[in-house]
């Protein structure tokens, strides 16, 4: 029995006689003997069931009586399909153990099945903040190839976790939450898009019915893989419940010869009281302290119309507002005057840029800004020099090409690797580029590699290898994961990138909820969050600067509009918002995320609290007309209940008309009063937001 404890979480793992089986995953158990816990929880066999009680391992085995999805799916032409693994060696943080032990860190269990000639190594790691992760490596020990169909890990959850939450979505409407009962059978989310997908499960939760941001016992898993993948929730007829995940392997994609091995992606697990505590474990794991400069991206300012003089003017306007990074988007290379041609030809267009990018890069750098560049290395237009020279580098499952999407096909990175790597290295060598916006604008449909064999697995590994090489050669290089907006958001890509583009949708009405739910996995500093034009080009809605900015500041702030077309009065307001964000950047991007459970769906309350509980920034957002005349009192948790705080509205530009009486001078309340009693709320119209600044004061001032 191995006991891992960290961050208020305890994981008890049984390695006695079989693959690792989790006996407990959840809150600390205050001195309970792990062997006694295992014996106390051992189930009584049911009627018409195996005489031996089910032992549910991390990779469930049919031999143990599991009738659900097996952890290992594969065979040698029909043999070796039901392996039974026996542990040979158990290591805790690299030291072999032979008896029950309590520790922290990484557990490695090396097992074999001599009859099936397979080796299986399972890793279980409890990270410092209480985040659990596990993965497995399967090795073929025979001469005959072993065709693997899946290697999925499964974490047990209690019977009280009777409600599921995961996500759906589409382009420009990512991360849409959906709930359902956790019933007998399998809730299976298969992602076959070749990338994470805007409609991916993202995180699969199970919790006590009605769980919210602060209430209920909640568990969740996330498959850290940027290609095809699986999330599942399964309840056996015998009552056991698991959450699991892994890579979705296409037929014949993994055939292991003697000595060859396959390693699954990490399956991450988080638990807590409410969704906020669960999310905080992911946030603590991801936070790096990397600088987050205010960014201007020029896509919605100029689209494909690259005029050097206009772009230099845009850079000068941006610098005057306080922008710290200037990103040149699509259209700078090859024959790329629209989206029909040039993709794959990663050389600067002499037609548009006769002097190369040097005049623009030099001006951007002289203005004190970092220069960033848009690329899409995994894609190719059939109308491109690259496709004409190397048509065999286009991924296809048959002699004909897959259907085009956005006039492009998928480039086989496994075969084109050296060419693409050298092109990117050449750009980074010639220009002072500090940042790459790395796009990926289509699904991998019929993505065949050499000989038409399934190529998604190899493509994903080639992408990881390419990003790793770039970062090793250029440690300071920032990389953004953009994929038709937010279609590649996962912890596999986030090991190699610094932020994600949440969505191509800049309408703040839509962005409010996309930011809210993308933050279930990623902390605010990873969320690309830009202030767009007053009229959204994707929805046609018109919003004032206050609502657009109050939405965008709870992420990695940027601008996505033509500054030359912005009225002077709005430019002044934009400059004020940028200055305020920079002054509060440490709190906004380093504080603890707090989201309130509010009755109805027409009001959102969220914010960030400083780790020392001395300050907070709260957003109150009205998204629709309320059915009641009065807004319920504003309540906010996360502060120290015994300390006193001054709460006052942040007003940049025009103040809302419906502010309550306390707003004029601010009000002093305790953290307990703000959480349990609340304050009279302002009257806000739909698509209107108010930010509140909360600062600790000397408690004597409250007498």
The DSSP symbol for 200 reads S
Catalytic site residue from 439, 498, 507, 687: 439
The DSSP symbol for 658 reads B
Alpha-carbon dihedral 316, 320, 324, 328, rounded to 10 degrees: -30
For residue 393, the SS3 value is helix
Catalytic site residue from 504, 507, 592, 687: 504
Which residue in 209, 217, 220 sits closest to 517, CA to CA? 220
d(CA 357, CA 348) in angstroms, rounded, equals 7
d(CA 258, CA 260) in angstroms, rounded, equals 6
Residue 602 belongs to what H/E stretch? Answer: none
Per the CB < 8 A criterion, the answer to whether 556 and 290 are in contact is no
Residue whose pair of structure tokens reads 């502010």 in the numeric block: 659
For residue 699, the SS3 value is helix
Residue 537 CB coordination number (10 Å)? 13
Which residue in 309, 307, 296 sits closest to 331, CA to CA? 307
Residue whose pair of structure tokens reads 């993948």 in the numeric block: 229
3-state secondary structure 471-532: HHHCCCCEEEECECCECCCCCCHHHCCCEEECCCCCCHHHHHHHHHHHCCCCCHHHEEEEEE
The DSSP symbol for 634 reads B
Which residue in 640, 578, 579, 596 sits closest to 615, CA to CA? 640
Per the CB < 8 A criterion, the answer to whether 327 and 360 are in contact is no
Length of the chain: 703
Which residue in 380, 305, 389, 376 sits closest to 342, CA to CA? 380
**Residues in contact with 441: Cβ distance below 8 Å, sequence separation at least 6, in sequence order:** 376, 379, 405, 406, 408, 483, 484
For residue 391, the SS3 value is helix
d(CA 35, CA 104) in angstroms, rounded, equals 18
Q: Using only C-alpha atoms, what is the Rg of the chain? A: 27
Which residue in 227, 220, 218, 217 sits closest to 244, CA to CA? 220
For residue 396, the SS3 value is coil
Is residue 439 annotated as a catalytic residue, yes or no? yes
d(CA 124, CA 107) in angstroms, rounded, equals 5
**Residues in contact with 659: Cβ distance below 8 Å, sequence separation at least 6, in sequence order:** 649, 682, 690
DSSP string, 277-341: HHHHHHHHHH--------EEE-HHHHTT---HHHHHHHHHHHHHHT--EEEE-S-SBTT-SSTTS
d(CA 312, CA 308) in angstroms, rounded, equals 6
- Catalytic positions are 439, 504
């Amino acid at each position: 029995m191995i006991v891992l404890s960290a961050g208020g979480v305890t994981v008890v793992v049984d390695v006695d006689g079989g693959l690792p089986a989790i006996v407990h995953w959840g809150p600390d158990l205050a001195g309970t003997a792990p062997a006694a816990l295992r014996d106390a929880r051992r189930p009584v066999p049911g009627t018409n069931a195996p005489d031996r009680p089910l032992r549910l391992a991390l990779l469930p085995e049919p031999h143990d009586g599991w009738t659900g999805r097996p952890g290992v799916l594969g065979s040698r032409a029909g043999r070796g399909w039901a392996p039974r693994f026996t542990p040979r060696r158990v290591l805790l943080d690299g030291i072999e153990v032979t008896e029950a032990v309590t520790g922290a860190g990484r557990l490695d269990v090396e097992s074999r099945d001599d009859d099936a000639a397979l080796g299986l190594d399972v890793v279980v790691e409890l990270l410092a903040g209480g985040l659990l992760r596990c993965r497995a490596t399967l090795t073929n020990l025979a001469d005959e190839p072993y065709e693997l169909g899946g290697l999925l890990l499964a974490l047990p959850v209690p019977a009280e976790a009777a409600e599921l939450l995961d996500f759906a979505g589409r382009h420009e409407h990512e991360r849409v939450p959906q709930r359902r009962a956790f019933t007998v059978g399998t809730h299976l989310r298969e992602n076959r898009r070749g990338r994470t997908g805007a409609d991916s499960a993202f995180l699969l939760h199970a919790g006590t019915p009605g769980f919210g941001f602060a209430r209920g016992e909640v568990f969740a898993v996330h498959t850290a893989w940027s290609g095809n993948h699986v999330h599942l929730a399964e309840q056996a007829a015998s009552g056991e419940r698991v959450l699991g995940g892994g890579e979705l392997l296409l037929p014949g994609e993994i055939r292991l010869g003697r000595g060859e091995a396959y390693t699954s992606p990490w399956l991450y697990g988080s638990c807590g009281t409410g969704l906020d505590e669960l999310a905080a474990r992911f946030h603590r794991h991801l936070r790096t302290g990397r600088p987050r400069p205010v960014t201007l991206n020029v896509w919605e300012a100029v689209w494909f119309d690259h005029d050097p003089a206009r772009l230099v003017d845009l850079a000068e306007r941006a610098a005057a507002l306080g922008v710290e990074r200037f990103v040149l988007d699509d259209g700078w290379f090859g024959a790329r005057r629209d989206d029909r041609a040039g993709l794959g030809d990663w050389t600067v267009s002499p037609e548009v840029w006769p002097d190369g990018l040097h005049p623009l890069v030099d001006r951007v750098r002289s203005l004190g800004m970092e220069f960033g560049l848009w690329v899409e290395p995994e894609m190719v237009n059939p109308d491109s020099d690259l496709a004409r020279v190397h048509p065999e580098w286009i991924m296809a499952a048959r002699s004909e090409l897959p259907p085009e999407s956005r006039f492009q096909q998928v480039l086989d990175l496994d075969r084109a690797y050296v060419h693409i790597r050298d092109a990117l290295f050449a750009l980074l060598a010639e220009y002072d580029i500090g940042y790459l916006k790395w796009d990926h604008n289509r699904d991998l449909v019929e993505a065949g590699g050499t000989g038409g064999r399934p190529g998604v697995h190899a493509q994903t590994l080639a992408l990881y290898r390419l990003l790793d090489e770039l970062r090793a050669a250029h440690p300071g290089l920032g990389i953004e994961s953009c994929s038709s907006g937010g279609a590649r958001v996962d912890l596999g890509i986030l090991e190699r990138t610094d932020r994600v583009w949440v969505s191509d949708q800049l309408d703040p009405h839509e962005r409010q909820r996309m930011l809210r739910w993308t933050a279930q996995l990623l902390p605010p500093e990873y969320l690309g969050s830009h202030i767009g034009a007053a009229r959204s080009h994707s929805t046609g809605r018109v919003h004032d600067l206050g609502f657009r900015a109050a939405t965008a500041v709870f992420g990695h702030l940027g601008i996505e509009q033509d500054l030359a077309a912005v009225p002077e009065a709005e430019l002044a307001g934009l400059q004020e918002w940028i200055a305020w964000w920079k002054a509060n950047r440490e709190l906004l991007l380093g504080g603890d995320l707090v989201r309130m459970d509010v009755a109805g769906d027409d009001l959102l309350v969220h914010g960030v609290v400083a780790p020392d509980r001395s300050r907070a920034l709260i957003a109150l957002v009205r998204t629709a007309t309320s059915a009641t005349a009065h807004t319920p009192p504003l309540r906010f948790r996360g502060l120290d209940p015994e300390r006193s705080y001054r709460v006052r509205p942040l007003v940049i530009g025009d103040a809302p008309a419906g502010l309550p009486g306390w707003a004029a001078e601010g009000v002093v309340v305790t953290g307990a009063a703000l959480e349990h009693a609340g304050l009279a709320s302002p009257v806000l119209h739909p698509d209107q937001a108010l930010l509140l600044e909360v600062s600790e004061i000397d408690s004597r001032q409250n007498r």
